[in-house]
Structure 1
Amino acid sequence: MRFVPQFLSLALAAACGGLLPGCAAKKSDPKATAVADRVMQAMGGTDAWNNTRYLAWDFFHGQYQIWDKKTGDFHWEQDTLVANYNLNSKQGHVYSRGKDISATPAGQKVLDGLYPAWVNNSYWLDMPFKLQDPGVNLTYKGAGKTMDGAPADVLGMTFENVGVTPENRYEVLVNRATGLVDEWAYFPKATDAQPAFRRRWNEYARHGQLLLAAGRSEAAKPARFDFVAAAQTLPDGVMTSPVPVTKLK
C-alpha cells in the first residue's frame, strides 16, 4: 500500500481554473500574450477548454486519474490504491483492493498527497491551456529552434504567489508553423542558468473539442502518456469507485 508519486521532482505551479485570453498577470508582455493566445486557439480555444468537463490520463504508466473540471472531483489510481477526492474541499477516501483505508496512516499519506499530485500531473497534461492563468508571468524571449530543429517562438514563464512551487520557471517553445507547444524546459529555480530537463510536447490528437499531446520524450528517451481522454459524461459510479475503473477512451 505504498503511495509513490512519480513527480520527477516536480510539483508544478499555476493550479488555477479556466482561463481567458488576455487574463495574464500584468508582467506578461504583449508579444508573449499574443503567442499564448495563438496556442489556445490552435488547441481548441477558450470555450472548448472551459466546456470540457472530464479529462483522463495515465501519468507515465504509474498513476491513472480522471478530473472533473466542473466539480473538482478527482479519481486517482496507482497500483492497488484508489482514491476519490475533491480538490475544493480537500476531502476524500482511499481504498486498497476495495477496502477503505482512509483512517490509517497509509491512507492519510495518500490523501495528503492528492492535491500536489493533481497540480503536478494535470499541469503536465494541460499546461498550454494555462499560459495566461492569474499569477503566470510570460515574457517573449525571441525566436529559437526546438531540439528537432523546428523554428519556434520562445516564451519565458515564471509564477507569482500561485501553485505549489512558484520558484520554478520554464521556457516554452511554440512552433511558428502550427502555433502548438512543441517543447518545454524546466528550471527548478528561476535563477538557474540550465534546465533540469528539456522535453518534447508532441503526438497531438483530438479529444473531444481539444488537441492534447501525449508525447513527453527527452532528447533520446521516449516517454508518453497513455489513455488520454476528454469527455462530457461518464458511466455511473466512476468518480466514486473503490476499485480501478475501465480507462476512458
Structure 2
Amino acid sequence: MRVKGWGVVLSVCLLGWMGCEPASDAPSPGAQAAEEMLVEEPGERDQEEALMAPTPEVEGPAGELAAKVYEAHGGPRWPQVKELGFRFVVKAGEEERFAATHDWKVWDGEDRVQWTDNEGQAWDVTVDLASREASEATLDGTPVEGEPLKAAGEAAYQRWVNDAYWLLMPIKVFDPGVSLEYGGEVGEEGQRRQVLELSFEGVGLTPGDRYEVQVDPQTGEVRAWTMHLQGDRPPSTVLWGGYEELGPLRLPLERTWEGGERQIVFDTLRVQ
C-alpha cells in the first residue's frame, strides 16, 4: 500500500557505527509549512488549531495502525514546530562515540549542523534543506569556500537526513513514497505488538531498505524496529524507549540495539 502525506521531502538514513549511511526520503516540512502559515493573525488557540496536519485516511489494517502511530507521537501537531534543536549521540555503553548537534529552523527549511568527523575535524555547517547547499561553513574554525563548501553542504544534509529520521520516524509514516503493510503480531501473550512494515518506492539514497516497526496496540507507541538494510547485512532489531513530551510532540529519546551496548540517544532537546 503506497501512501502520500504532507510536507516537502526529509529523508531516511541508517547509521553506520561512526557515521551515516543515507537510506531513503522522509519529509522536510520547512518550506511548505511556511507557505501554509496563516495570512491573518488569529489568537493563540485559533492559531494552534489552524496549524494542524489532518491524519491521512488510508484504508486497511496498515493504514489504521500507521494513523495510530502518527497521532500518538504528535503528527497532527507537527506544523506547530517552528524550531527543533537536538543532539544525536551514538554510545557504546557509557562511552560517547559520536555526536552531532542540530539547530533546525523548521519553517525556514534550514539546519545548522555541528559534528566531528572520523578524522577528528570539526565541522559547523548551515545548510538549506531544499537545495542541499551550505550558506556558510567552517572546518576547525576556518571558513571554507568553493568546492569544499559544496561538499560541506551535502555532508550536513546527509547528517540531517539520518539524525532527524531516527528522531521523527513515527510522524513520517505517511510521507510520499512510503509503502505500508500490516505485518501481524509478535511477542508473548500479554505483551503482543502489532507490526507496521515500511518500505520505499523509488525515493531516497538507499530505497531498498525496509523496516518492521513494532507498535504497542494500546498506545500507538513504537517499542522496536527491525532494520533490513540494502545490501547483504543481516537485520538488526533496535529497542525504542524513554518517551518524553516535547512541546506538541511525544517522542522516544533512546534507541538500544537488542543484545548489545550500542545505543543512540537524543539530548539537549529544544522545541519552539
The amino acid that maps onto 2:27 is: C
In structure 1, what is the Cα distance between the partners aligned to 2:216 and 2:145?
A: 45
* Alpha-carbon distance, 1:162 to partner: 1.6
Divergent runs of 4+, >4 A: none
In structure 1, what is the Cα distance between the partners aligned to 2:271 and 2:133?
A: 24
In structure 1, what is the Cα distance between the partners aligned to 2:109 and 2:246?
A: 20
CA contact (8 A) 1:214 1:228 kept: no
In structure 1, what is the Cα distance between the partners aligned to 2:14 and 2:140?
A: 21
* Alpha-carbon distance, 1:13 to partner: 1.2
Question: TM-score, normalising length from structure 2?
Answer: 0.72
Is 2:84 the counterpart of 1:67?
Answer: no
Gaps of 5+ in 1: 233-249
Q: How high is the sequence identity, in percent, across the aligned residues?
A: 28
* Alpha-carbon distance, 1:94 to partner: 1.2
Deviations 1:160-214 (A, max 9, x none): 1222211111101101232101111111139x7951x110111111111111111
Deviations 1:114-164 (A, max 9, x none): 222221111111001011111100000101129xx8321001111012222
Is 2:257 the counterpart of 1:215?
Answer: no
The amino acid that maps onto 1:67 is: W
In structure 1, what is the Cα distance between the partners aligned to 2:138 and 2:214?
A: 40
Greater strand fraction, Structure 1 or Structure 2 = 2
The amino acid that maps onto 1:103 is: G
The amino acid that maps onto 1:229 is: L
**How large is the Cα RMSD of the aligned pairs?**
2.6
Question: After alignment, is 165-174 or 86-95 more displaced?
Answer: 86-95
In structure 2, what is the Cα distance between the partners aligned to 1:45 and 1:123?
A: 14
Deviations 1:17-42 (A, max 9, x none): 45652266xxxx62111111111221
Q: How many pairs are equivalent? A: 218
In structure 2, what is the Cα distance between the partners aligned to 1:157 and 1:226?
A: 23
Partner of residue 22 from structure 1, selected from 56, 72, 88: 56
In structure 1, what is the Cα distance between the partners aligned to 2:243 and 2:210?
A: 24
Is 2:212 the counterpart of 1:171?
Answer: yes
Gaps of 5+ in 2: 1-12, 30-52, 90-97, 117-121
* Alpha-carbon distance, 1:77 to partner: 0.2
**For residue 7 of structure 1, what is the aligned residue in structure 2?**
15
CA contact (8 A) 1:119 1:163 kept: no
**For residue 50 of structure 1, what is the aligned residue in structure 2?**
79
